[in-house]
């Protein structure tokens, strides 16, 4: 899959940092204010070696022209990227949501991008990071309420977890969240690193709780939602081999009854986030509370 947009697009927005603890880290973030970015989105797909390939093209005008929301945002959306990625992967959503009136916050999660952190905690510690980010935004008068979280994959699981402990988070959109961390890791290895011995991967997963000093069950999103169900919009890809539809449906079943699920039939795990034609109307409606 290829994301095509100018590398300078992200750097047109000021970079900010906030120190968080515990444990100590320095998060890098950017704020995308509501405006008319004239966002253009197009996509193509093709088969190569019997595998689907995707290219998503985004074009925007920066600096943008003010719109009706610039001086009075609908609220704030914190966008959470997937494992191994960074702010840039959620920039298209930030621009799309900002056009519709939302003040969007792009953040490099701990241990990713320009943020520091010697290790990640698969969401257990990162919820505190994000709440401290909200505190910093509030102090700087950059936080418009209500607050929403939109995440993909690892970021989606984190968004769900964050909502269970942060009362300021009003709504969540979870795109391809994993139900079981170990299953997701094994699926990733099967799809992209089939040469790795499965026994070695399982051994590493078995050691993870003791390394991070976190109970094994706490890594799973099913544990989080079983303990405290929340309302969320879930998104699944029909051809997702990493977090299959059945896994996302399992999470939807654990969530509160007002939750909803969207299944995009031909979307893979990597491409699902950028199916704007299929997702944007429902996501915008969900964030606006107009179900």
Tens of pLDDT along 180-234? 999 999 999 998 888 888 999 999 999 999 999 999 999 999 999 999 999 999 9
Structure confidence at residue 291 (pLDDT): 56
- CB 160, CB 230: distance < 8 Å: yes
User: pLDDT for 162-180, tens place per residue?
Assistant: 999 999 999 999 999 999 9
d(CA 238, CA 35): 34
Other CB atoms closer than 10 Å to residue 199's CB: what's the count? Answer: 8
CATH number of 2-186+218-287: 3.40.50.1820
**Which own/partner contact pairs does 261-264 have at CB distance under 8 Å and 24+ positions apart?**
261/233, 261/234, 261/235, 261/236, 262/233, 262/234, 262/235, 262/236, 263/235, 263/236, 263/237, 263/238, 264/235, 264/236, 264/237, 264/238
Instruction: Using pLDDT thresholds of 50, 70 and 90, give the confidence band for residue 7.
Output: low
* pTM, entire model: 0.96
d(CA 34, CA 97): 8
User: pLDDT for 8-59, tens place per residue?
Assistant: 789 999 999 999 998 999 999 999 999 999 999 998 988 888 778 889 999 9
d(CA 40, CA 59): 5
DSSP at 138: H
Structure confidence at residue 4 (pLDDT): 80
User: pLDDT for 244-291, tens place per residue?
Assistant: 999 999 999 999 999 999 999 999 999 999 999 999 999 999 999 965
């Amino acid at each position: 899959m290829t994301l095509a947009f100018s590398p300078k697009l992200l750097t047109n927005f000021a970079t900010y940092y906030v120190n968080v603890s515990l444990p100590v880290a320095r998060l890098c973030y950017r704020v995308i204010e509501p405006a008319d970015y004239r966002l253009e989105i197009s996509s193509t797909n093709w088969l190569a070696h019997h595998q689907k390939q995707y290219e998503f093209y985004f074009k925007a005008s920066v600096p943008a022209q003010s719109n009706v929301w610039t001086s009075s945002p609908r609220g704030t959306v914190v966008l959470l990227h997937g494992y191994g990625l960074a702010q840039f992967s959620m920039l298209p959503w930030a621009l799309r949501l900002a056009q519709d009136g939302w003040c969007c916050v792009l953040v490099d999660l701990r241990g990713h991008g320009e943020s520091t952190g010697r290790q990640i905690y698969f969401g257990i510690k990162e919820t505190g990071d994000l709440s401290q980010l909200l505190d910093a935004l509030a102090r700087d008068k950059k936080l418009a309420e209500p607050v929403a979280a939109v995440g993909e994959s690892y970021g989606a699981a984190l968004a769900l977890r964050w909502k269970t402990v942060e009362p300021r988070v009003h709504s969540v959109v979870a795109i391809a969240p994993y139900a079981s961390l170990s299953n997701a890791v094994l699926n990733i290895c099967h799809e992209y690193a089939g040469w790795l011995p499965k026994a070695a991967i399982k051994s590493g997963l078995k050691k993870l709780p003791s390394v991070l000093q976190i109970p094994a069950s706490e890594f799973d999103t099913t544990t989080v939602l079983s303990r405290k169900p929340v309302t969320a919009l879930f998104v699944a890809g029909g051809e997702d081999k990493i977090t299959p539809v059945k896994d996302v449906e399992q999470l939807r079943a654990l969530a509160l009854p007002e939750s909803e699920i969207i299944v995009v039939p031909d979307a893979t795990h990597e491409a699902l986030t950028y199916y704007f034609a299929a997702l944007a109307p429902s996501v915008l409606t969900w964030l606006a509370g107009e179900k």
